[in-house]
Amino acid sequence: MSGNGSNEPIIICENVNKWYGNFHALKDVSLKVKRGEVVVICGPSGSGKSTFIRTINRLEEHQEGRIIVDGIEMTNDIRNIDAIRREVGMVFQQFNLFPHLTVLQNITLAPIWVRKKTRKEAEAKAFELLERVGIREQAHKYPGQLSGGQQQRVAIARALAMEPRIMLFDEPTSALDPEMVKEVLDVMKTLARSGMTMLCVTHEMGFAREVADRIVFMDQGQIVEEGTPDQFFTNPRNERTKLFLSQIL
Amino acid sequence: MATEVSRPTSRRAPRQQIGLIEWLRKNLFSTWYNAIITVILLYLIFQTVTSFVAWMVTAPGWPAAFTNIKLLLTWTYPVEQLWRPQAAMALVLLLLGLSSGLWGGIVRMVAFGAAAVSVLLGFVAFTFPDLPGQTSLPGWLFMFLCAGLLVGGDQAARWIGVKLRWPLIVAWLLSYPAVILILRGGLGLPIVETKLWGGLILTLILAISGIVLSFPLGVLLALGRRSSLPVIRIFCVLYIELIRGVPLVTVLFMGALLLPLFLPGGESIDALVRAIVAVTLFSAAYLAENVRGGLQSIPKGQIEAARALGLNVVQTTLLITLPQALRAVVPVLVGQFIALFKDTSLVVIIGLVDLLGAAQNIVGQPEWLGTPGGVWRETFLVIAAIYWVFSFTMSRISKRIEDQIARSRH
Ligand SMILES: Nc1ncnc2c1ncn2[C@@H]1O[C@H](COP(=O)(O)OP(=O)(O)OP(=O)(O)O)[C@@H](O)[C@H]1O
Ligand SMILES: [Mg+2]
C-alpha cells in the first residue's frame, strides 16, 4: 500500500531508550514505518506500547536514540516538536474530547488556531469528516451527550481535520462497550484502506489480521517480534509471543 | 427478511405530583409529635411575621433613610454635580440593555430584573425630597428613564443585530474608564475629588474594581503557582500564602498607612485608589486558590489531546484548560465576589464612607434624636435590602451559568 512513489520510511526510530526514573521503559526500540503502512502494536499490559507511540509525537520524551518523522528529527527544539505534531494525529483510549466545546468546535479548533484556516473552511472540512465517520447530525451537540463510540469517531475526525500524514491510535476501542467497537473499527479500516500511515496499539486481532501490513509485538519495553499478520498468527517464533497469543486468541 | 417486530408502546410516566393534603400529611403531620412540632412552629412563625409587619407599618424611622437618600447613594458628592453619577449609571444601564438584546439569556434576565426594580424605585422616589441647587433629574424621572434605557436598549439591539457585537464589547471595555472620568472629572469637566465620594457609589466602585481587577490577577497567580519556572512559582506561593494569612483589615491598613511610607510620593496616592489596590490584592490571592482548584480538576488527557493537535502552551491554556477550570469553579468564584462586595464595608475603618458608613452617619444625625427608639433599625433595613438585591442578583447569575454548564454535560 505504499503511497506516492517515495519509498523512504516516514517514521524512523533507532535504538530509542526511555526511563521513568530508574525504570527502563523502552529498551533499544527500533522501527521503520513506510508511507501508507498500517502497523499494529500489541503486547501484554505494561510492555511499553503506549510509551512507545507517545514518544513519536513527544507526549513522552525519549532519552536516547533517534526518532525521525517525515524527515524531521525529534529534538528538544520546540519548533521541530510542533512541526511533527502538526503531521501526526493521535486518538486516545479515553477519547479526550474537549467537553466544553461542541463536536464542531472540537474538530475546527486546531485547524483554525494551528493551521490558520478560516472558520468557514474549517467547518466545511469538519462536516465532510463528520459525514465520513457517520455522525454529521451530531455536530452541534456536546461530547457528553454522545455515546462512547460516537465520541471516539469524533476524536478520529478531530485528528483528521489537521490533515495529518500519520495517525497514532492508542487502544482506541478499549474503553468502549462491545457493541460500539465495530463502528469505530469500521472507520479505522476505511482510513487504513485510504492509504493513511497508521500505528495502532490494539488488542483487536481481527482488525490486525484484516488491515495490518505488519504486526509488532512488544514485551518488557522491547520489540520482541515483528512480521506480517500471516507469519505472526500462524508461525510465531518467540516463546513470549506464543504465550501472549495463546492467552488472547 | 422483514420480520414484524412488535414495537414496545411507551406509557406516560406516573404522576409524581401529590395533592396538598397528602403533602401536608406526609411532611408535616406524619406522627403525633411531628404534628405538635408543626403547630408550635407555625404559631411562632405567625407571631414573628405579624409583629414584624406591624412594626414595619408603624415604625417612625423610615423618613431617615428616604430624606437622606442622597447621602446613602452618593454621600458628599456635590449636589450641583449630581447629574454625573446619573449619567454614569445611565451609560452602564444602556450598555446592559443593548447586551440583553444581543445576547439574551442571563443578561436579559438581569436587564429586565433591573428594569423592574427601577420602575418600582421610581414610584418610591416620589417621596424623595428635591435638593436645593439640584442639577440632576428628579429621582422618579431618572428611575423611569433607567427602565426605559434598559428596555429600549434591548429592543434597539435586537433590531440592529449581531453587527453590534464588537462595538458593544469595546464599549464595555471603555465603560470603566468612562465612568471614572464622568465621576471624577477632567477633560473639561470640573474635578470632584474622590474624598467627596461615598455611599452606594463608593461601594459599587470598590466592589466592581475589586472584582474586575482581581480576576485577571488571580488567574495569573494561579497559573504562576503551577508554572515550571521555580522563580515564578515561589513568588506566587509566597504571595498567596502571605495574603491568605492576614485579614482584609490588615491589608487595608497596610494600603492606607504603610504604602505612603514606602512609595515615594505615596502620600499623594488617592485614598480610594489605595483601598481598591488593597481589596484587589486581597481578593486575588483567594481567587488564585479557587482557580487553581479548577485547574487541578482538569484531566491530563485534555492537555495531551491539545498538544497532540499542535496547539502550543499558551493556546492550550487559554482555549482548553482555563475555560474548563473557570467553569468548574463558577459557584465558588461568585461566592467570593459576593463576599468581596460585602467586605468592602470594612473600608469604613480607613476613613472612607461607603454605604454602611453613610447609614451610620445618618443614624447619628441630631434631627432623629427625638424619634422613639432611634432610626437605626429602619435605616439599616434599607441598606440591607440594597446589599441583598446585588448579592441575590449575583447568586442568580451563578445559578444560571451552572445550569447552562450542566445542560451541556447532560
Ligand atoms: N508516568 C510514568 N511514571 C512511571 N512509570 C510509568 C509511567 N508511565 C508508564 N510507566 C510504566 O512504564 C511501563 C510501560 O507503560 P505503558 O503505559 O507504555 O504500557 P502499555 O504497554 O501501554 O500497557 P497497557 O496495555 O496497560 O496500556 C509500565 O510498567 C508502567 O508502569
Ligand atoms: Mg497503554
The per-residue pLDDT for range B225-264, each reduced to its tens digit, is 988 889 999 999 999 999 999 998 888 888 877 777 777 7
Residue of A98, A129, A169 for testing the chain B interface, max B β-carbons within 10 Å: A98
Give me ligand 2 centre to Cα A170, in Å. Answer: 7
Q: What gap in Å lies between CA A229 and CA A212, rounded to an integer?
A: 7
Name the residue of chain A whose CA is nearest to B325's CA: A100
Instruction: Compute the average pLDDT of residues A162-183.
Output: 92
Average pLDDT over residues B106-124: 88
Contacts of B214 (CB under 8 A, 6+ apart): B279, B280, B281, B282, B283, B284, B287, B340
Share of chain B above pLDDT 70, in %: 96
Asked whether residue B3 carries a pLDDT value surpassing 60, the answer given is no
What's the whole-number mean pLDDT along residues B375-397? 88
Ligand 1 mean position to A44 CA, how many Å? 11
Higher-confidence position of A1 and B162: B162
Share of chain A above pLDDT 90, in %: 80
Whether the CB-CB separation of A10 and A2 falls below 8 Å is answered with no
Please list every residue in chain A whose beta carbon sits closer than 8 Å to the beta carbon of residue B305: 90, 92, 96-98, 155
Beta carbon of A49 within 6 Å of any ligand 1 atom: yes
The closest residue, in CA terms, to atom 2 on ligand 1 is A20
Q: Which residues of B touch A143 (CB under 8 A)?
A: none
pLDDT at site B257: 79
Say which residue the cell 468592602 belongs to. B344
- What pLDDT band is residue B266 in, cutting at 50, 70 and 90? low
**Nearest-CA residue for atom 22 of ligand 1:** A50
**Contact state of B305 with A97 under an 8 Å Cβ cutoff:** yes
| pLDDT score of B60 more than 70 | yes
Tell whether the model's pLDDT for residue B1 goes beyond 60: no
Average pLDDT over residues B164-174: 92
Better pLDDT: B385 or A4: B385
Cβ of A22 closer than 6 Å to ligand 1, yes or no, is no
A47 lines ligand 1 (CB under 6 A): yes
Kindly state the cell numbers that stand for A39: 502497523
pLDDT at B94: 94
> Is A153 buried (19+), middle (13-18) or exposed (0-12) by CB count in 10 A?
buried
User: Cα separation of B334 and B310, whole Å?
Assistant: 34
- In the prediction, which pLDDT does A2 show? 39
User: Quick check: B149 pLDDT over 90?
Assistant: yes
CB pairs under 8 A between A and B: 66
Q: Stretch B146-160: mean pLDDT, rounded?
A: 93
Instruction: Give the model's pLDDT for residue B400.
Output: 86
> Residue A206 and residue A210: Cα distance in Å, rounded?
6
Average pLDDT, chain B: 87
Residues in A closer than 8 angstroms to B404, CB to CB, are: none
pLDDT at A1: 39
Is A108 near ligand 1, meaning CB less than 6 Å away?
A: no
CB A98 to CB B309 under 8 A?
no
* Binding-face residues of A in 40-59 toward B, CB within 8 A: 57, 59
- Asked whether residue A3 carries a pLDDT value surpassing 50, the answer given is no
The Cα of B310 is separated from the nearest Cα of chain A by a number of Å equal to 5
Give the integer Cα–Cα distance in Å for B290 and A76.
Answer: 34
Ligand 1 atom closest to the Cα of residue A201 is: 22
Across A159-168, B356-365, B370-379, least confident range: B370-379
Cα A100 to Cα B267: distance, rounded to the nearest angstrom: 48
Instruction: For residue B312, list chain A residues with Cβ-Cβ distance below 8 A.
Output: 82
- State residue B4's pLDDT score: 61
Note the pLDDT of residue A12: 94
Q: In the predicted model, what is the mean pLDDT of residues B43-72?
A: 87
Task: Evaluate if residue B224 carries a pLDDT over 90.
Answer: yes
ipTM of the complex: 0.92
Contact A70, A87 (CB under 8 A): yes
Reference B225, options B295, B279, B283, B277; nearest CA is B295
**Can you tell me the mean pLDDT for A229-242?**
89
User: Confidence class of residue A5 from pLDDT cuts 50, 70 and 90?
Assistant: very low
Residues of A in contact with B306 (CB under 8 A): 98
From the candidates B309, B312, B313, which should be mutated to test the interface with A, based on the most A CB atoms within 10 A?
B309
Distance from CA of A98 to the nearest CA of B (A): 7
Instruction: Name the minimum distance, in Å, from the CA of B400 to any CA of chain A.
Output: 16
pLDDT digits (tens, 9 = 90+) for A73-116: 988 888 889 999 999 999 999 999 999 999 999 999 999 999 99
**Selected residues 88-117 of chain A with any CB under 8 Å from a CB in chain B:** 88-90, 92, 94, 96-100, 109-110, 113-114
Separation in Å, CA of A239 to nearest CA in chain B: 35
CA distance B88 to B74: 13
| pLDDT bucket at B59, cuts 50 / 70 / 90 | confident
Query: What's the pLDDT band for A6 if we cut at 50, 70, 90?
Result: low
Nearest CA to ligand 1 atom 14: A48
HSE-CB for A201 with a 13 A CA cutoff: 23
Nearest CB neighbour to B305, from listed A92, A114, A145: A92
Q: How far is the CA of A49 from the centre of ligand 1 (A)?
A: 8
pLDDT of the residue at B409? 67
Q: Is the pLDDT of residue B122 over 90?
A: no
Contacts 24+ apart (CB under 8 A), A130-135: A130/A103, A130/A104, A130/A154, A130/A157, A132/A157, A132/A160, A132/A187, A132/A190, A133/A157, A133/A187, A134/A183, A134/A187, A135/A103
Is A25 near ligand 1, meaning CB less than 6 Å away? yes
Å from B11 to nearest chain A CA?
24
Residues 6+ apart with CB under 8 A from B154: B97, B98, B100, B101, B108, B111, B112
* The one-letter amino acid at A88: V
For residue A94, what is the nearest residue in chain B, using CA coordinates?
B301
Compute the distance between CA of residue B403 and CA of residue B263 in angstroms, rounded to an integer.
Answer: 47
Contact B310 A162 (CB under 8 A): yes
Cα nearest neighbour of B404 on chain A: A100
Q: Identify all chain B residues contacting A82, using CB atoms and an 8 Å cutoff.
A: 310, 312
Choice among B135-149, B231-245, B289-303, B313-327 with the minimum mean pLDDT: B135-149
pLDDT at A21 over 80: yes
How many Å lie between the centroid of ligand 1 and the Cα of residue A45? Answer: 8
If you take atom 18 of ligand 1, which residue's CA is the nearest one? Answer: A48
Residue among A244, A163, A220, A164 at smallest CA distance from A26: A220
At B132 the pLDDT is 64
User: To test ligand 1's pocket by mutation, which of A17, A18, A22, A23 has the most ligand atoms within 8 angstroms of CB?
Assistant: A23
Contact B341, B356 (CB under 8 A): no
Over residues A54-63, mean pLDDT: 93
Question: Is residue A20 lining ligand 1, measured as CB closer than 6 Å?
Answer: yes
Q: Is the pLDDT of residue B90 over 60?
A: yes
User: Residue B134's pLDDT band (boundaries 50, 70, 90)?
Assistant: low
